[in-house]
Amino acid sequence: MDENRRVRPSSRSRRASRTTLRATVPDDEPIDLRSDTVTAPTAAMRKAMAAAEVADDVLDRDPTMRELEERVAGMLGAADALWTPTGSMANLIALMSHLGRGESFLAPQGAHVLDSELGTAAWLAGGMPRPLPHDGGPGKVTASAVRRAAADDGSYTALHPALLCLENTHNAAGGTITAPEEHAAVAAAARAARLAVHLDGARLWNAAVALGVPPGALTVGADTVSVSLSKGLGAPVGSVVAGSVEFVEQARRLRKMLGGGIRQGGILAAAGLVALEDTDRLTEDHALATKLAAGMRERGWRVREPQTNIVLVDVADLRGTIGAFGEAGVKAGAVGGKLRLMTHRDVTEKHVTAALDRIGEVGPASTGSPGAPPAPFPRRDEGAGSALG
């Protein structure tokens, strides 16, 4: 085997492997950086779930679930909100409420509603997707782009744009942030063009913490907003979709239509309430992502500077590199043709240091250079695959 075609541990990495680091992160313990959805519920969450006051939400409204919905609505500056089992369902409910047959919706290229929800926006919500290029920076579109895309030539044969769907942070672009003034300008352009606005804020908490603003500052001008409790915040399951009182009344019916009549859902909602008490800790995830990115660059990897907790790496052989990382004990994922590593509640500084030690230096085949041959890593099943969440 040609040695210059492999990822080679640096001398510093080899020294690190002989330190107490390996004692704190055992060799046989995989470090899971595939997504921030892999976290286990905390002891506080489990305790709250066990003690939650519950009722049949379909018949009587579950009190714990209702408390969570009202809490999130207040944080987002919305009149009301509804718990859903998943973020994809939350987005779909919003799109079903905004779109009709013969209508289209605009969204930044690579948005979750475009690429990671199995086409339900068109299949079930009935809207034709129209991706917009990132003319405002990674993951972002400008007001002028929205105005151009929303222009209607008056033809009765043309699809009529009815909705702009934004995403903050933008997952496929690497957790990039849209600032309040940028969001407000784009939302205002959409509303001036008579478009409704939905914000997919699955990781809106990350954006708010990184910017040092309340989440509601990032929702101005949006008719509906979805947020996740299991991405970043660490709850075991659940998202929330928020909007007007009238929207939420309709959303409850749509959730039932999609199979989401919830019974004693307070057991799950209780974990979400605990998660909301500790959103500031997301700064730790962001700092660890920065440390991970810097360490990989030092080892020769082509890594984008993260704005939040998502680290994207350009590699020539995506599947081979993910397999090699798994063989080394680091589980990685993929999004948008890039290798993706994510820091989260269950990752500490020692995990990041150990991950860098295991990954080591990059060889020429893994630098992402066009035409580079696949690196002949040994393989094992764990760590391979794609992470879309």
Taking a C-beta distance cutoff of 8 angstroms, is the pair 281, 345 a contact?
A: yes
pLDDT in tens, 298-349: 999 999 999 999 999 999 999 999 999 999 999 999 998 999 999 999 999 9
Q: Which residues pair with 176 in a beta bridge?
A: 170
Q: pTM for the whole thing?
A: 0.88
Burial of 43 (0-12, 13-18, 19+ CB in 10 A): exposed
Report the b/e string of 64-96 with b at 16+ CB within 10 A. Answer: bbbbbbebbbebbbbebbbbbbbbbbbbbbbbb
DSSP 307-336: SSSEEEEE-S-HHHHHHHHHHHTEE-EEET
Q: Return the CA Rg of the chain.
A: 22
The pLDDT of residue 102? 85
Q: How far apart are CA 140 and CA 138, in angstroms?
A: 6
Farthest-apart Cα atoms in the chain, separation: 71
The CA-based dihedral angle spanning residues 184, 189, 194, 199, taken in that order and rounded to the nearest 10 degrees: -40
* Token pair belonging to 162: 């009815």
Q: How many helices (H) and strands (E) does the chain have?
A: 15, 13
Across the chain, which has 389 residues, the per-10-residue mean pLDDT values are 35 37 75 97 98 95 98 98 97 97 94 95 94 97 97 82 97 98 98 98 98 98 98 96 98 95 95 97 98 98 97 96 97 96 97 97 56 32 43
DSSP 36-49: TT-PPPPHHHHHHH
The sheet with strand 302-303 has its strands ordered as 302-303, 310-314, 338-342, 333-335
pLDDT at 364: 56
Report the 10 Å Cβ neighbour count for 152. 11
Residue-wise DSSP of 284-313: HHHHHHHHHHHHHHHTT-EEPPPSSSEEEE
206 with 175: CB under 8 angstroms? Answer: yes
Pairing state between β 224-228 and 196-201: parallel
DSSP label of 80: E
DSSP H helical segments within 138-240, as ranges? 143-150, 180-192, 204-211
Question: Cβ distance 354 to 360 under 8 Å?
Answer: no
Q: Supply the pLDDT for residue 260.
A: 85
Dist. CA 97–CA 243, nearest whole Å: 11
Bridge partners for 164 per DSSP: 106, 197
